[in-house]
Structure 1
């Protein structure tokens, strides 16, 4: 790993890779370090929205991503078979009037290939153990005894960010009571192959979304999710919460996991020459599929801001990045929280919720605002 660099990025997920691609394209020396021996090949996040595809265009990866993913022009909120809110993206003023369903593993591979084409690489495995900064830069120390000196350091190392902790930045918020179960499955019946569906239920929410290759992503709130959900567990989730007239039959669980979700935003996005992005700066419910999108939009904005700061020596661009992206993260956290709250409302209030949502859904302005919010175009 280089002993000195313009920018050191900690974390080689989508956010960190996108920051690195942006800087490499601008001609800066950028070093990416990650504590994993190899990239994570599980799918995790799967939805890429219109605004994210727009901001990734200058990085030269959008065309490859859209060619590999499923174009889903509709998002539907349901209570079993009853449609509560249909959201159609096809009339949005964008070149990408849909949600792109593509696994996070593929998104990372595409970004990494682009970085390598620009002459960059990811140094693995290097675990950050300390950092010190002064008026000229940051010195990062790693667990193997090595050090890297950088003009700026980006923390894109996830919710449990060592960078954020070392920089002394608080992470204010809380944790949802429920755990979340995630599974990529093969199924038949009940759900369309080009539409993302969010099912509301007194037992909790469940999202069913198509993935390339004929698989489907299932995400559900569960009091105590199993470490590795099996066919019987996922089948029960869909039997209780999914479509009733044409039940879904789970044939295989390709991969599964569990996680607990926090709703937090970093108290500051910047401490001197250390800057945060992605899950290191904000985490929230997966309802609405906003997580990776917010991180990639951070990355595009931060890459531009760092480039300008490196060229001019001015701190203003980084202050501007924080001033724009932190309020956007707060909006995303609130929006995802509201969706989660609506989805998990108790049985007593379920009829009232359904009536109110169906009344709102007949209003074109409501459907339009929801489409703009989900697609991320509201953050233009």
Structure 2
């Protein structure tokens, strides 16, 4: 068995490419196929929000995307020709990406594909999944993680070979869109509904003073007009209409009629370079996993385009699945994969509800309901409620993983009920940890001064590599902190993810006597004191396991770090090696 035979990814859109890049960065080769003849040329989805951008930074493509994007300053809502409300972008705290970026999907795919090639991967274009057979799906629960023998058999239709090509991957990832063959072969339902409206859009050049820095939603009794400025010039216009069954793209004349009826006076279509007519579905797969088969992106959930949630949710699916598959392939507990659906299906449902709610607000036809909607928009804008509520939901920065089985929290557990309290050196329980150490919560950023082994000026810069991390936070003597950091580094090195794990010691001041520059861990001064303040009360070091997605997985102030490792699936094998 070769590593290339381990994972087959069907679909080389943003979700499939993110999954593949994540696997490669974590030391696992994979095979990627796509029935298209090459990367996408159609712009399709436009908006990248903060949560997805942080994921894309972890696979080293965010900078390239920023250079080819247009930051949006906000969105406004219009009714009866008057502005009824709006949200401001750019106020999101604690992220390197406070603004959503307007980037055509074709650009996002192209940048991800270039990254895949640089990582040593490739896509087998014009290659189709002809047949799939899945046997013994329960084998994913075996101690070997299903790697002892393959329980997936696929047949690929490869151009120029003259005959189908059989292949037996150990894991199959369906990132092949709303009409997923992988989902169908696994017998997974796709539950939901279809809006009884056609949707039309056009990208091109327009005149008459269309907005340059914000998205606009013009809500009329006949339907919606959405206008989004594009990077490099031009705009996208988007409309809904009564369903006709017509599948041909709208003409420029069609777009002009709708623009005249719903937009401000004087807006004109000069020329278009892409037009499309489509139906919108709101559906979610009954399960995201069937044994060795996983669904991600549009194969697992499809959304209204309202709020630009689909692509963003799919990118986060791909990263979540990628690092977990890599850890299990390297030897971590296969139960880690159970957390994929536990984490990503609720996230997809939240995004789906969000986009569905916005779409239904667009479609209000009744006069009284429209008046009520417009009034609520005015009040929510004036009070700042739209900014506080809507923007964080759309940004998808909060992973919402508190109930995930992959975030055990405080370790070792001192309460049989599994509370998040710990026991200090005197044997008494401490108060509950503050929010920043709640299991599954994304760690807030804190500035630090790098001293050795890292050049990162802050916690988020350090975590932007998208690797596992053990943060050793000094509490008590410097000698004890150094000894704990050394033990943490040794433990990490013995773990299945040793080559993908970073260890850093955070101190509250620069050591007067210097430090060991040959130590197997990095060292930095916690200038912001967000983390070192937590360890002061313990009078012993605090060790925090941070997942590749920046979420808190577990922590411990117990002197026996093997008890921490035993509770974290990606580190657990380190305990066995010294048992």
TM-score (norm 2): 0.63
Task: Using the TM superposition, name which of 248-257 and 158-167 deviates more.
Answer: 248-257
Equivalent-residue separation in structure 1 for 2:356 and 2:346 (angstroms): 15
- Structure 1 residue 97 and structure 2 residue 98: aligned? yes
- Structure 1 residue 28 and structure 2 residue 28: aligned? yes
Query: What is aligned with 1:355?
Result: 375
Matches within 5 A, 1:9-24: 9-24=9-24
Equivalent-residue separation in structure 1 for 2:78 and 2:326 (angstroms): 44
Question: Contact (CA 8 Å) 2:302, 2:310: kept in 1 or not?
Answer: yes
Task: Using the TM superposition, name which of 348-357 and 328-337 deviates more.
Answer: 348-357
Deviation at 1:37, TM superposition (A): 1.7
TM-score (norm 1): 0.95
Question: Contact (CA 8 Å) 1:4, 1:149: kept in 2 or not?
Answer: no
Question: What CA deviation, in whole Å up to 9, does each residue of 1:260-305 have, x standing for no partner?
Answer: 1111000000000100000000011111111111111111111112
Deviation at 1:49, TM superposition (A): 0.9
SS in 2 for 1:180: strand
Query: What is aligned with 2:222?
Result: 203
Equivalent-residue separation in structure 2 for 1:253 and 1:359 (angstroms): 37
Query: What is aligned with 1:123?
Result: 124
Question: What CA deviation, in whole Å up to 9, does each residue of 1:136-164 have, x standing for no partner?
Answer: 33222123410222221100000000000
Matches within 5 A, 1:209-220: 209-220=228-239
Higher helix fraction (1 or 2): 1
Equivalent-residue separation in structure 1 for 2:75 and 2:318 (angstroms): 26
- Structure 1 residue 335 and structure 2 residue 335: aligned? no
Equivalent-residue separation in structure 2 for 1:73 and 1:54 (angstroms): 19
Change (3 A) 1:240 1:226: farther
Question: What CA deviation, in whole Å up to 9, does each residue of 1:190-222 have, x standing for no partner?
Answer: 322121122212111222111122121122212
Query: What is aligned with 1:45?
Result: 45
SS in 1 for 2:341: helix
Higher strand fraction (1 or 2): 1
Matches within 5 A, 1:224-303: 224=244, 227-244=248-265, 247-303=266-322
Query: What is aligned with 1:73?
Result: 73
Alignment root-mean-square deviation, CA: 1.7
Question: Contact (CA 8 Å) 1:48, 1:99: kept in 2 or not?
Answer: yes
Equivalent-residue separation in structure 1 for 2:64 and 2:278 (angstroms): 30
Deviation at 1:35, TM superposition (A): 0.9
Deviation at 1:129, TM superposition (A): 2.2
SS in 2 for 1:259: strand
Deviation at 1:40, TM superposition (A): 2.4
Question: What CA deviation, in whole Å up to 9, does each residue of 1:55-75 have, x standing for no partner?
Answer: 111100000001111111212
Which ranges in structure 1 are unaligned for 5 or more consecutive residues? none
Deviation at 1:313, TM superposition (A): 4.9
Equivalent-residue separation in structure 1 for 2:81 and 2:393 (angstroms): 24
Query: What is aligned with 2:457?
Result: none
Task: Show structure 1 runs of 4+ deviating over 6 A.
Answer: none
Task: Using the TM superposition, name which of 50-59 and 222-231 deviates more.
Answer: 222-231
Which ranges in structure 2 are unaligned for 5 or more consecutive residues? 140-145, 158-162, 400-441, 443-579
Equivalent-residue separation in structure 2 for 1:91 and 1:243 (angstroms): 29
Deviation at 1:361, TM superposition (A): 1.9
Query: What is aligned with 2:196?
Result: 177
Question: Contact (CA 8 Å) 2:3, 2:29: kept in 1 or not?
Answer: no
